[in-house]
Amino acid sequence: MYKAKTLRAWAWGMIGIVGCMAATAGETQEYTGRVYADRTSTLLPLGNGTGVMSIQVSGISTMSGNPPSVFLMRCAGLGLVDAEGKAASDVYCTFDESDNDTFDVKGKLVEGEGMLEVIGGSGRFAGATGSGKFQRTSTDGDKSAGIIQVKVKTK
CB-count burial class (<10 Å; 0-12, 13-18, 19+) for 139: exposed
Q: Which pLDDT tens digit goes with each residue over 88-136?
A: 999 999 999 999 999 999 999 999 899 999 999 999 999 999 999 999 8
Whole-model pTM over 0.75? yes
- Within 10 angstroms of residue 119's Cβ, the number of other Cβ atoms is 16
The identity of residue 60, as a single letter, is I
**SS3 letters for 133-144?**
EEEECCECCECC
Q: Which pLDDT tens digit goes with each residue over 59-95?
A: 999 999 778 899 999 999 999 999 999 999 999 999 9
